[in-house]
Every structure is written in C-alpha cells, then in structure tokens.
C-alpha cells in the first residue's frame, strides 16, 4: 500500500459574492417579492410564467410587459423530502422541495415547504407562503411555504364539584378506613361492589353493606398507551377485578408487574396507601398487585 | 455531410477517490493510448470538455493541455461541458472540410470537493442557486415526478453495478440489498443512497477521422450516422420532469428510430433517468442498455457522456455490433441531451 499523498485545503470564493444585474423582468419579480407579492409575466400566447422569464421558453418570443399577481397559495405538483438539510438550504430542519403551481400561474415555482413530516405533503397539497422578516429583493424573501390550514387544536376543559351522598358515600367511607364495601341483593343474592342501594337486575333494595377482602382475580384487562392523570406511567393496565366474594367485577389499575405479564385469571391484592395518607377517595388504592398465587380458571 | 467516424477510444481505470494525480497526469495515458492506436501524433483539431468548478481553479482546462504537447501551436477548443459536446464541436469542425482528424477528450476529478453542492453553482443565480438546490434534491424531484416502481429502479441499479464489476474501467460496487434494509437508506426521498452514482475520477479520449483516413486507421470505424443535441428550459418548474422532450427531439434528429439499436449507452446518472431516456429514445426491449455499467458504475463527471459515446463505439470497433447509440446529458434534471447514432 503506497503512502497517502499529502493533502491541503483549497477554497474557491468570491469575497462578498458577485454583483449581478437582474434586467427588468427578473428585477420586477424580485422587487414585487420585496413588497411581499408574487407576480408572473404574461406571454404573447397568454400564459403566465412564474417566476418570470424574459422570453417564452415555448416559442422564444419576448414576453409581454404585463405582470400578473399570482398565489399567494398554490398546489404542489411534485415534491421530494430532505431528511438532512445542507447548510445552504432554506430550512435547517427536515423539509420538502416542491414544484408549486401558484394560483393563476401556468408554470410551477420551485421552493421549500416546511411540512413537518414527509407524509404531510404530496401532489395536490395546498401550500401558502411564509415571508422572511426583512425582504431584500431575493428569491429567499419567500422564506418557504407551509401546508394550507386544514385543522386547528380546540382545547376542552370544564370543572365540576361532585358530592358523594347515598351509597357512594357509604362505599367511600369504607375506603377511607381501608375496607371495600359491597351489597348483597336480597332476592338474587348477587354481591355488588361498590356498594349500591338496589340490584340492577331485580330492582330489589339492597340491605346493609358487606365487607369484602382486598383480594380478587383479573377477569379481563386492557393495556393503555395514552397517558392518564390517574395512572402512574404509560403503558398502564386497567383491569376488571372480581373481588373474592363478589359477583360483579370492579375496574381498577394493575401495577407492580410489567404490562405484558398481566393475564386473565391472575390473582391480585389491593395496594393501599399508608394510613396517614388516606382520604375518602379511590386514590387510597394505588393499584392491585399480583399476589403470586396460582392463576384461577375463569 | 462529410463521413466522420470514431476510430479510437480510451478511458482511465476510474477511481472512487483522489489518487493525487494532477489533471494532466490523469489525461496523459488516455491521450497516449489513442495516439498509439491510431498512429497519429498530430490532429487537425483538438477539443476538450471539463468543468473548472470540479477542481476549483479558473481555466484549469488550460493546464490540461500540458498532457497534449501543444507546440508547435495546435488548433484547440474547449467546452465547459461534458466531453460529449467537445466531440460534437469536433464533428462540426470536421464538416468544414479542411481537416481530416480530431482529438476529443473529457476529464473530471469529482473527488476534490462535494459534487452535490458544487452542482448548485451550475444553476441560475436568481431563482435556483439562492435556495441551495443541490444535485440530489433536483434528481429527487425528477424521480418523484417519474414515480417508478421501486423494484424497477432496484433492478436497474443491480444490473448496472453487476455490469460495472465486469468492466475493468468501472468501479467495483456491491449489489444493493433491499432485503436487508427494506425501504432503504434515503438520500433525498424518494432517492435511495444506492440510486446515487459513485463519486469518480477519470478521463476519456476519442479520435475522430473522416472517410478515407478513418478506413486507413481502423479496420472497423464507428461512423457517426447521426448526431444532435437539444435543450429545454433551465427552470424545472417550466418543464414536464417525467419526460424528456429534448432527448426525444435529439433522438429523432439523429435518426435513432431508422434502424434496430443493438446497444444504447445512456448518460443516466440515476435509475429513474434511464427510465425517462429509454422512453424518450423509444428503445426496444432487445436493445442492450449500458452494458458497460453506465454512470451508476462509474461517473467521472465531464467524461461520463463522452465515455457513453466511446462505449457505444467499442462493439462496432471490435466488430461485434453494427448499430449503436451513445447519449450524453447536461444540466439539472436532464436539461440538455445529445444523441449519437453509430454504425459499422
């Protein structure tokens, strides 16, 4: 292997850049851009060239002196996506190059579109210009284009004050002292938890509450991937838990176990917060955790 | 028209990196080779094609003359274009009737800088260059306009690289492996990195001779039966990028369709360009396209187009083909196209 030949850096640069005259046609276009307007020029055949050229590329005839305001919006006819912008590109984040048929133009303008991701732009996408803050009479006075507004974000929030009277008050009073209360129907004998005042099947009144243990069995569950203020983390598991001695499952979080290990028939126990932190609220139960007992056949 | 033929063609063993040879040192062996093959040491006319921006030195083509021996003074010209257009100028010069031979060469070392952004310097300074549009961004726009199936593009890349590995002058590039990387590694979408031609340094030379001299110098001259070039508007938004009207016009003017084409060497730097050019030249299924591997296997910019004509001449010079086509392109998105029909 011969040794590497010596190497040196060489830069070709014209300090300050070349001064170039624009001529009247390109000069008009750039002056209009500086005033935040996009114009095309009409050809003798009536077509509108954007950006304007001195001669009709189809016929070679000089264009007319008629300038036509176009856009500012347009439709993407072709686009390509730059994942890693180069230093000289109009945007420093991933963007699209697009040929844009501006409204009223018969040719397409080539420019950058800040679309966020490549799926947000395709042939047919409507785009609008974003102007640079200090226009100077350069094609970059058009900073870039962005997709037309097609959606907005509408915040939703309302506050309520809830009072737990009746059966819920009884149930939460139990929860406050670390006990889950259910109720037995006097005609069908089903035990419902949380405690309630009537049987939804029979319509019969339910008598005094019965204490249920904090243990039960997972009958079904869901793995949730959207955050919820009541859950410790994402993903979290919400499950139907059939408490021992109850006939109707209650819904609760399952924790202390990886989401993918939760299964039907898993035995679980309520994890209560320390006594001094307890209130009359379901937040007393942090979640249900596996007991380690063998699974139950459902 | 005066009968003009290609009687010799030589090219460097192209490299993917800068070997440190100066441009005259790069050119000299191929000039020597065509001189030796023809027995000519002086030519009626000499024309070269190159791009000063590749080396970043104004008039770098002038120093390249050191490779020729330009004393006593020679009749010489240069185009700031691919060497294929130098061949066109030499063909026109030979039509004047007062000379009977011409030396044509093209050369480029694209390893010296970043070809992708150096190509921005070829764009109009008002509308395109300020946006920093680079070689790959423009090619990606055209690829999107063509919208070819990925498999068709991959097949072109695979065939080109395999043919390149069989060509001692082209680079040894591995088969692209879309299975190991489904969806591929994007250059500028939709272009994959495997769609991008390799950075290449190299040079090529061709000798043209007229009628009787051609027959004296070479047993099987490759006669230029047609040669034409056509250009489209520079601004991509003024064109239909999915088609090449200028390549189609040049092909008609050169008479491509007046007979069967055994081999077509196309200056397709990207696989979608091959699809556009096949359609524009209206090539039949049985035409062998880029058996040399084409630009996807070796792309010594400013010699690539001349090499296409040389590679199209080769099977005629060795007696294995009767009618071939060489194509060269210049400018963004196949703006300018030159088509040559060669016949035994």
At residue B171 the predicted structure's pLDDT band, cuts being 50, 70 and 90, is very high
What residues of chain A lie within 8 A of the CB of B233, using their CB?
53, 57
Give the DSSP H/E element, type plus range, for residue A172: helix A166-176
- Examine the pLDDT at A14 and tell me if it is beyond 90: no
Q: What are the tens digits of pLDDT across the range B221-264?
A: 999 999 999 999 999 999 999 999 999 999 999 999 999 999 99
Paired tokens of A199: 């049987």
A99 contacts B235? CB cut-off 8 A: no
- Examine the pLDDT at B61 and tell me if it is beyond 90: no
Q: List Cα–Cα distances, B162 to B13, B17, B193, in angstroms.
A: 17, 20, 17
Q: 3-class DSSP state for residue A223?
A: strand
Q: To the nearest whole angstrom, how far is the Cα of A260 from the nearest Cα of chain B?
A: 28
Rounded-to-integer distance, Cα A93 and Cα B138, Å:
18
Predicted pLDDT of residue A42:
97
What residues of chain B lie within 8 A of the CB of A86, using their CB?
116-117, 132, 134
Mean pLDDT, chain A, rounded, equals 92
Q: How many residues does chain B have?
A: 344
A97 contacts B137? CB cut-off 8 A: yes
Q: What is the pTM of this model?
A: 0.79
Mean pLDDT is lowest, of A152-156, A206-210, A265-269, for A152-156
Is beta strand A236-243 parallel, antiparallel or unpaired with respect to B323-330? unpaired
Give the DSSP H/E element, type plus range, for residue A95: strand A95-102
> If you measure CA to CA, which chain B residue comes closest to A18?
B125
Q: To the nearest whole angstrom, how far is the Cα of A100 from the nearest Cα of chain B?
A: 8
Rounded-to-integer distance, Cα B65 and Cα B83, Å:
14
A108 in reach of chain B (CB within 8 A): yes
A86 contacts B134? CB cut-off 8 A: yes
Predicted pLDDT of residue B67:
85
Paired tokens of A72: 């500012």
A5 in reach of chain B (CB within 8 A): yes
Predicted pLDDT of residue A20:
92
At residue B289 the predicted structure's pLDDT band, cuts being 50, 70 and 90, is very high
Chain A from 232 to 261: CB within 8 A of any B CB: none
Predicted pLDDT of residue A2:
61
Q: What are the tens digits of pLDDT across the range B325-338?
A: 999 999 999 999 99
What residues of chain B lie within 8 A of the CB of A144, using their CB?
none
3-state secondary structure labels for all residues of chain B: CCCEEEEEEEECCCECCCCCCCHHHHHHHHHHHHHHHHCCCCCCEEEEECCHHHHCCCCHHHHHHHHCCCCCCCCEEEECCCHHHHHHHHHHHHHCCCCCEEEEEEEEECCCCCHHHHHHHHCCCCCCHHHCCCHHHHHHHHHHHHCCCHHHHHHHHHHHHHHHHCCCCCCCCCCCCCCCCCCCCECEECCEHHHCCCCCEEEEEEEEEEHHHHHHHCCCCEEEEEEEEEECCCCHHHCCCCCCHHHHHHHHHHCHHHCCCCEEECCCCCHHHHHHHHHHCCCCCCCEECCCCCCCCCCCCCCHHHHHHHHHHHHHHCCCCCEEEEEEEECCCCCEEEEEEEEC
A167 in reach of chain B (CB within 8 A): no
- Examine the pLDDT at A235 and tell me if it is beyond 60: yes
Q: To the nearest whole angstrom, how far is the Cα of A40 from the nearest Cα of chain B?
A: 13
> If you measure CA to CA, which chain B residue comes closest to A60?
B233
Predicted pLDDT of residue B251:
98
Q: To the nearest whole angstrom, how far is the Cα of B333 from the nearest Cα of chain A?
A: 13
Q: What are the tens digits of pLDDT across the range B51-60?
A: 999 988 888 8
Q: Greater confidence, A225 or A127?
A: A127
A110 contacts B131? CB cut-off 8 A: yes
Handedness of CA A273, A274, A275, A278 (dihedral sign): negative
- Examine the pLDDT at B201 and tell me if it is beyond 60: yes
The domain limits of chain A are 23-147, 166-290
Rounded-to-integer distance, Cα B170 and Cα B292, Å:
8
Find residue A127's DSSP bridge partners: A74, A147
Rounded-to-integer distance, Cα B37 and Cα A230, Å:
86
B125 contacts A20? CB cut-off 8 A: yes
What residues of chain A lie within 8 A of the CB of B236, using their CB?
99, 108, 110
Chain A from 17 to 56: CB within 8 A of any B CB: 18, 20, 22, 26, 30, 49-51, 53
Predicted pLDDT of residue B179:
63
At residue B322 the predicted structure's pLDDT band, cuts being 50, 70 and 90, is very high
Mean pLDDT over A256-279 rounds to 92
At residue B180 the predicted structure's pLDDT band, cuts being 50, 70 and 90, is low
Chain A from 196 to 215: CB within 8 A of any B CB: none
At residue A156 the predicted structure's pLDDT band, cuts being 50, 70 and 90, is confident
Tokens 């590679």 -> residue: B311
Q: Greater confidence, B182 or B90?
A: B90
Predicted pLDDT of residue A5:
81
Size of interface A-B (CB pairs under 8 A): 104
> If you measure CA to CA, which chain B residue comes closest to A53?
B235
Ramachandran region, residue B233 (left: φ > 0; alpha: ψ -120 to 50; beta: rest): beta
Using CB atoms, which residue from B20, B125, B189 is nearest to A80?
Answer: B189
The answer to whether residues A272 and A287 touch, using CB atoms and an 8 Å cutoff, is no
Q: What are the tens digits of pLDDT across the range A157-201?
A: 888 888 888 889 999 999 998 999 999 998 899 999 999 989 988
Using CB atoms, which residue from A11, A109, A138 is nearest to B237?
Answer: A109
A140 contacts B126? CB cut-off 8 A: no
Q: What are the tens digits of pLDDT across the range B102-133?
A: 999 999 999 999 999 999 998 999 999 999 99
- Go through the domains of chain B in sequence order and give each one's CATH number: 4-114+199-217 (3.40.47.10), 115-197+222-343 (3.40.47.10)
Predicted pLDDT of residue B283:
97
- Examine the pLDDT at B183 and tell me if it is beyond 80: no
> If you measure CA to CA, which chain B residue comes closest to A57?
B233
Rounded-to-integer distance, Cα A14 and Cα B314, Å:
43
Q: To the nearest whole angstrom, how far is the Cα of A149 from the nearest Cα of chain B?
A: 24
Predicted pLDDT of residue A137:
95
Q: To the nearest whole angstrom, how far is the Cα of B279 from the nearest Cα of chain A?
A: 20
A292 in reach of chain B (CB within 8 A): no
Mean pLDDT over A92-98 rounds to 97
At residue B70 the predicted structure's pLDDT band, cuts being 50, 70 and 90, is confident
Percent of all residues in chain A with a pLDDT value above 90, rounded to a whole number: 69
Predicted pLDDT of residue B181:
60
> If you measure CA to CA, which chain B residue comes closest to A90?
B131
Handedness of CA B127, B131, B135, B138 (dihedral sign): negative
């Amino acid at each position: 292997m011969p040794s590497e030949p010596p190497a040196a850096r060489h830069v070709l640069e014209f300090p300050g850049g070349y001064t170039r005259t624009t001529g009247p046609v390109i000069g008009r276009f750039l002056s209009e851009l500086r005033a935040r307007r996009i114009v095309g020029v009409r050809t003798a055949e009536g077509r509108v060239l954007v950006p304007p050229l001195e001669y009709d590329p189809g016929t070679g005839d000089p264009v007319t002196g008629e300038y036509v305001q176009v856009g500012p919006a347009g439709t993407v006819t072709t686009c390509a996506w730059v994942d890693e912008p180069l230093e000289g590109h109009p945007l420093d984040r991933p963007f699209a190059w697009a040929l844009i048929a501006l409204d009223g133009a018969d040719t397409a303008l080539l420019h950058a579109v800040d679309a966020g991701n490549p799926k947000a732009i395709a042939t047919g996408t409507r785009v609008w210009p974003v102007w640079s803050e200090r226009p100077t009479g350069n094609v970059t006075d058009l900073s870039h284009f962005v997709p037309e507004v097609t959606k907005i974000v509408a915040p939703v929030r309302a506050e309520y004050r809830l009072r737990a009277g009746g059966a819920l008050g009884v149930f939460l009073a139990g929860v406050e002292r670390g006990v889950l209360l259910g109720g037995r129907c006097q005609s069908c004998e089903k035990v419902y938890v949380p405690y309630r005042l009537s049987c939804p099947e029979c319509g019969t009144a339910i008598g005094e509450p019965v204490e249920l243990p904090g243990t039960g069995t997972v009958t079904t569950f869901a793995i949730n991937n959207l955050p919820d203020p009541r859950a410790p983390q994402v993903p979290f598991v919400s499950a139907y838990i059939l408490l021992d001695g109850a006939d109707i499952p209650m819904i609760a979080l399952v924790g202390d176990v990886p989401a993918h290990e939760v299964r039907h028939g898993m035995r679980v126990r309520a994890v209560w917060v320390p006594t001094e932190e307890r209130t009359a609220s379901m937040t007393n139960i942090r979640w249900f955790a596996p007991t380690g007992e063998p699974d139950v056949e459902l | 028209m005066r009968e003009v033929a290609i009687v010799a063609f030589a090219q460097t063993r192209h490299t993917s990196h800068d070997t440190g040879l100066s441009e005259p040192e790069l050119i000299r062996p191929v000039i020597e080779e065509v001189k030796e093959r023809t027995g000519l040491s002086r030519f009626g006319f000499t024309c070269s094609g190159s791009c000063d921006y590749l080396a970043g030195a104004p008039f770098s083509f002038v120093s390249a003359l050191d490779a020729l021996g330009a004393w006593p003074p020679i009749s010489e010209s240069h185009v700031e274009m691919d060497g294929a257009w130098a061949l066109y100028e030499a063909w026109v010069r030979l039509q004047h009737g007062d000379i009977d031979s011409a030396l044509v060469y093209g050369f480029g070392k694209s390893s010296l800088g970043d070809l992708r952004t150096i190509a921005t310097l070829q764009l109009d300074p008002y509308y395109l260059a300020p946006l920093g549009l680079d070689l790959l961004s423009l090619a990606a726009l055209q690829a999107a306009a063509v919208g070819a199936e990925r498999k068709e593009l991959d097949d072109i890349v695979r065939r080109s690289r395999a043919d390149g590995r069989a060509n001692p002058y082209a680079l040894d590039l591995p088969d692209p492996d879309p299975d190991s990387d489904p969806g591929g590694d994007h250059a500028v979408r939709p272009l994959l990195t495997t769609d991008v031609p390799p950075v290449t340094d190299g040079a090529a030379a061709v000798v043209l001779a007229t009628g009787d001299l051609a027959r004296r110098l070479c047993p099987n001259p490759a006669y230029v039966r047609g040669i034409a070039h056509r250009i489209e508007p520079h601004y991509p938004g003024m064109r239909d990028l999915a088609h090449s009207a200028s390549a189609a016009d040049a092909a008609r003017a050169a008479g491509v369709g007046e007979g069967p084409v055994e081999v077509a060497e196309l200056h397709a730097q990207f696989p979608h360009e091959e699809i556009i050019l096949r359609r524009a030249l209206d090539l039949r299924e049985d035409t062998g396209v880029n058996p040399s591997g084409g630009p996807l296997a070796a792309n010594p910019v400013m010699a690539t187009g001349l090499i296409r004509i040389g590679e199209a001449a080769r099977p005629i010079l060795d007696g294995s083909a009767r009618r071939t086509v060489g194509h060269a392109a210049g400018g963004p998105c196949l703006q300018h196209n030159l088509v040559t029909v060669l016949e035994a």
